[in-house]
Amino acid sequence: MQLFKQLDLTFPAAPALVVLGRDYALEAKAREMLSALEADALAAAIQVEWNARLFSAAGRADFRRKLVSLNPRLREHDAAEIDRTLRHEVAHLLAQFRAGRRRVAPHGTEWRKACRDLGITDEARTHTLPFPVHRREPRFRYECPCCGKNFPRVRRIKRAIACLDCCRKFNRGKFYPSAQLRLVENKKGLSLSRPLRKKDL
C-alpha cells in the first residue's frame, strides 16, 4: 500500500471580514435607549446598518426611513467610539420624532436635548476621527424665493425642501410652500427660476 506524505501548507491569515448591512445587536441597543425615553414608536421602527458608502462621515441618520448608517471604519476604533456615534445619530432621529411635523435644525436645541437624554451631553457637531476628507465642488445651487438665501449642494435635492429660517418665521417651523427651494443653477451653468419639480431630480 502506497503511503502519501501529508504536506503541511501554511496559508497567510485571511484579512478580517468587514460585515456590512444591518447590525441587529446595535439595533437592539438603540431600541433599548429609545424605549427608556418613551419613544416606543421610533424604537419599533429604527434600523442600524454599516454602510461602506460613507466616506468621511462617521454616521448618518435618515428620519424618513428611521435608519442610522455607520461608517465601517469606526470598527478601527474602540467600542466607546461606536457607541458614541450611534447615540449621536439616534439623537437626530429622536429630536425629529419629538418635534413631529415641525422641522428642526440638524444640530440645534432639540438635538442637543436629545443628546443629553442619551447620555452624551458634551457631544460635538462633527467627529474628530482621522477619516479621509473628500471635498467635492458643489454642482447645484438652490435659492429660497422668500429671503434669497443660497444653498449650494453637491447632489440634487430629491424632495420638496424649504428654507428652515423662513419656515420658522412664517409657519412656526412647519413646511412653508412659499419658501420651497428653487434650483437656480446646475453644473453646466444652466439657470432655472422655478420651484424644484420631480423631473429635475
The domain segmentation of the chain, as residue ranges, is 21-117, 140-195
Look over the chain and give the mean of its residue pLDDT values, rounded to a whole number. 84
Low-confidence ranges of the chain (pLDDT < 70): 1-18, 130-135, 188-201
| Residue-level pLDDT at 86 | 97
Question: Any idea which residue has 424605549 for its cell?
Answer: 35
Q: Which of 181, 180, 164 is nearest to 172 (CA)?
A: 164
| Residue-level pLDDT at 18 | 53
Q: Which fold has domain 21-117?
A: Zincin-like (3.30.2010)
Euclidean distance between CA atoms 178 and 166, whole angstroms: 9
| Residue-level pLDDT at 188 | 58
